[in-house]
Structure 1
Amino acid sequence: MVRNDLFLAIFVMAIWGFNFSMIKLGITEVHPLLTTAARFTLAVIPAIFFIRRPDVAWRYLIAYGIVFGVGIWGMASWSITAGLSSGMSSVLLSSNALISMLAGVWIHKEHVSKRKMTGAAAALVALLVLVSATNGNITPQGLMLIMIAASCWTIMGMIVKASKTTQAFAFNVWGMLFAPIPLVLFATSIYGTDILLDAVTAWDMNTTIAVIFQAYPTTLFGYWVWNRLLIRYPLSTTAPLTLLVPVFALISGYLMYAELLNVAQIVACMLFLVGIGLIVKPASPKRPQQIPPTVSYFLKK
């Protein structure tokens, strides 16, 4: 990867990591489902008027919007108000790679290499340590919500793959069109319509800043850059960069909210990210077997 693209990729990873702290900033008083709905509303409008709809069936866009909006970011945001620290939320969301691997084995009967098996074992051990050694930065409800988000990430990948789209950014923008309304309906079905009035009353400048940051730098700029990198470079080059997101999330959580990890959790986070790295790194292409010169000579004969 050329230097400028590498710096740009690291910058986007920093934005995505910092985004978890911004989520926490915006949902202090307003319910996370509603701030997430506002995020995707701003991300879609007016961008959707300048981006042609991808050539896929509507059902894929609708399914993507619901899973990406409600399943991933609605649940991830909610996990923070449920007691999960912003940094830990980012780390645990990375378990989507582990869940995707398990789904591939179970559903598609995919073969798993020894490297991925080692990574999965390391990630599972680290996950158990993270939960058992919590200093209050992990709660049962928060853990449940972030695991739902991680599982939905796997489902989202299946939707994108099934759509066979070649226009990733356009698919993302048009899919987000179907995120805000389900998020609002989900919130009102649980808490009633009074939650909307409460959100208007509690909405402040911090919420506005947080939502704008999530909509534009995180969503539109971040995914635009990321999709360009995916086109330019192989997955083996780009995928490992996403492991920087939890690192930046932990740093920003410490700087903004003094979120601390104990020694056991620091070691577990490192082990977890190493394990996920072993899972997401694609296998190196096999080199063609070299034929000894003497054998090659007789074959030519």
Structure 2
Amino acid sequence: MVRNDLLLAIVVMAIWGFNFSMIKLGITEVNPLVATAARFTLAVIPAIFFIRRPNVAWRYLFAYGLVFGVGIWGMASWSITAGLSSGMSSVLLSSNALISMAAGVWLQKEHVSKRKIIGAVAALVALLILVSATNGNITPQGLMLIMIAATSWTIMGMIVKASKTTQAFAFNVWGMLFAPIPLVLFAMSIYGSNIIFEAIAAWDMKTTVAIVFQAYPTTLLGYWVWNRLLIRYPLSMTAPLTLLVPIFALISGYFMYDEVLSLAQVVACIMFLIGIGFIVKPASTRKSQQIQSSHS
């Protein structure tokens, strides 16, 4: 990878990691579902007026917006107010690689290499340690919500594949058009219509800064750069970079909110990220060809 692209990628991973602390900042006073709706409203408008709609059926865009908005970031934000630390929410969200691997095996009968099996076992053991060694930074409700978010990430990938889109950034922007309304309706169905007025009354400068950061540097800039890198470089080179996100999230959580891991959790986080790294790194071309020939 060219040095400038590598530096840009690291900056984006840092932004995405820091974003979890900004999510926590934005939902301190405002309901997480309403705050997430505001994030995607700002990200879509006015960008959508300058980006042509991708050549895909509307149902894919609607499904993407629902899963990306409510399923992933609505649940991830809610998990933090449910007691999960911002850093731990980022680490546990990375378990989407485990869920995607399981879905590939069970639904699509994909071949799994020994390396990925080792990675999955290591990550699962690390997850058990993380949960059992909690010092208050993991709660049952928070864990459930972040697992829903991780599962939704897998479903989102299936939606993108099914759409057969070749315009990833445009698909992302237009898909987000369908995120705010379901988020607001979901919040109102749980907390009543007053939740909107309560959010407006509680809204302050910290909330504004947090939502603007999530909408523009994180969502628009981050995904634009990431999609650009995916076009230029193979997945084997770009995918492992995402493991930097939880590291930056843990660092920012420590400095912004004094979020501290127990020693067992530090070891478990390292073990978890190594395990996920084994899963997300694709097999070499030679190995892929050997696997294909053995199944042909």
Q: What's the TM-score once normalised by structure 2's chain length?
A: 0.97
| 2:246 aligned partner | 246
**Aligned pairs (5 A) from 1:14-163:** 14-163=14-163
Letter of the 1:217 counterpart? P
Instruction: Give structure 1 regions of 4+ aligned residues with deviation exceeding 6 angstroms.
Output: none
SS at match of 2:285: coil
Count of matched residue positions in the alignment of Structure 1 and Structure 2 = 289
Deviation string, structure 1 residues 5-62 (Cα, Å, up to 9, x no partner): 0000000000000000000000001000000000000000000000000000000000
Deviation string, structure 1 residues 73-100 (Cα, Å, up to 9, x no partner): 0000000000000000000000000000
Residue 111 of structure 1 and its aligned partner are, at CA, apart by 1.1
| 2:172 aligned partner | 172
Letter of the 2:69 counterpart? G
Q: CA RMSD in A?
A: 0.9
Work out the CA distance in 2 between the residues paired with 1:167 and 1:110. Answer: 26
Q: Does 1:9 align with 2:41?
A: no
| 1:285 aligned partner | 285
Work out the CA distance in 1 between the residues paired with 2:196 and 2:11. Answer: 35
Work out the CA distance in 2 between the residues paired with 1:198 and 1:41. Answer: 18
Residue 285 of structure 1 and its aligned partner are, at CA, apart by 1.0
Residue 180 of structure 1 and its aligned partner are, at CA, apart by 0.1
| 1:256 aligned partner | 256
Extract unaligned runs of 5+ from structure 1: 290-301
Work out the CA distance in 2 between the residues paired with 1:16 and 1:88. Answer: 14
Residue 195 of structure 1 and its aligned partner are, at CA, apart by 0.6
Letter of the 1:252 counterpart? S
Q: Which has the larger radius of gyration?
A: 1
Percent identity, aligned pairs only, is 84
Deviation string, structure 1 residues 92-136 (Cα, Å, up to 9, x no partner): 000000000000011111111000000000000000000000000
Extract unaligned runs of 5+ from structure 2: 291-296
Q: What's the TM-score once normalised by structure 1's chain length?
A: 0.95
Letter of the 1:170 counterpart? A
Deviation string, structure 1 residues 231-289 (Cα, Å, up to 9, x no partner): 00000000000000000000000000000001000000000000000000000111789
Letter of the 2:185 counterpart? L
| 2:294 aligned partner | none
